[in-house]
Structure 1
């Protein structure tokens, strides 16, 4: 994962531990004061929230402990598409340019032009250099992209 992705996970983990967990514990304690727990919807809802929160905490901690964090800014830019690179592409069929950043699965967000390293377009681009053509198989057929620029920021 990229350094930005790791930082985002650390921020989420901090929020879960310092804000969400105490709020849920307080909600459980408040719901217990209402009496009979068998028919106490607030208590059951808070316990369910607690389960989701604790599960997400464990998931994030596991990802961070197993992740290989790559700071692409420390890699000398040789114009080659690698994990973490920002790539500007020219679609030969539509004459349009698009810019993507290749990131880990957890960071991917197509609305922000962050594509997963495991996506078909990333797999076609990895290893390419400026002016190379990458062919990507899509549901609508093969699309050709020419690599216009590669940035390691």
Structure 2
């Protein structure tokens, strides 16, 4: 991830911020409370609450460090302000017509921290996104992935 800028949508940044705040204000304090209680129960070597709690604290702290770095490096892209709506840019919703099997798919080009293939959210550095970025409505694009090579036509571009 480090070789790319950390472009992110406002919604993606808000989701990261929400997770960060939850970890800091809710999850970590609760685990610290449980670990403190468990530590007071004597022998820590066989104390499951203590051992699991310490492990969970390390996981939480690791995630907090990761989120902090990603948010500090984030460049929020406001796609709703896009004026050239006939061209595919970061944040666009793109409807593609598969010229091979005549099906349609809808994707949204988002940051690496926002991936959600089930919703059609793909990273701007993925082969599909690289194929459509900068292209115009009506353009045909060839997408080469490890699994297949497919040709699509861009039939709709939206910025919401």
TM-score range, shorter chain: over 0.9
Give distance in 2, aligned partners of 1:70 and 1:137: 26
Q: State the distance in 2 between where 1:77 and 1:57 align.
A: 37
Question: Which residue of structure 1 lines up, in the alignment, with residue 88 of structure 2?
Answer: 81
Mapping of 1:130-149 within 5 angstroms? 130-149=137-156
Distance 1:141 1:72 in 2: 30
The total of aligned residue pairs comes to 153
1:5 and 2:18 correspond: no
1:27 aligns with 2:4: no
| Cα distance in 2 between the residues matched to 1:138 and 1:46 | 42
Counterpart pick for 2:111 among 98, 104, 107? 104
What is the aligned partner in structure 1 of residue 5 from structure 2?
Answer: none
2:78 is equivalent to residue 71 of structure 1: yes
Provide the rounded CA distance (Å) in 1 between the counterparts of 2:37 and 2:115: 38
Taking only aligned residues, the RMSD between alpha carbons, in angstroms, comes to 1.1
Asked if 1 retains the 8 angstrom alpha-carbon contact of 2:35 and 2:54, the reply is: yes
| Partner in structure 2 of residue 122 of structure 1 | 129
Query: Does structure 2 retain, via aligned residues, the 8 Å contact 1:77–1:152?
Result: no
User: Normalising by the residue count of structure 2, what TM-score does the alignment of the two structures yield?
Assistant: 0.92
Structure 2 residue ranges without an equivalent (≥5): 1-7
TM-score by length of 1: 0.96
Give the aligned partner of residue 62 of structure 1: 69
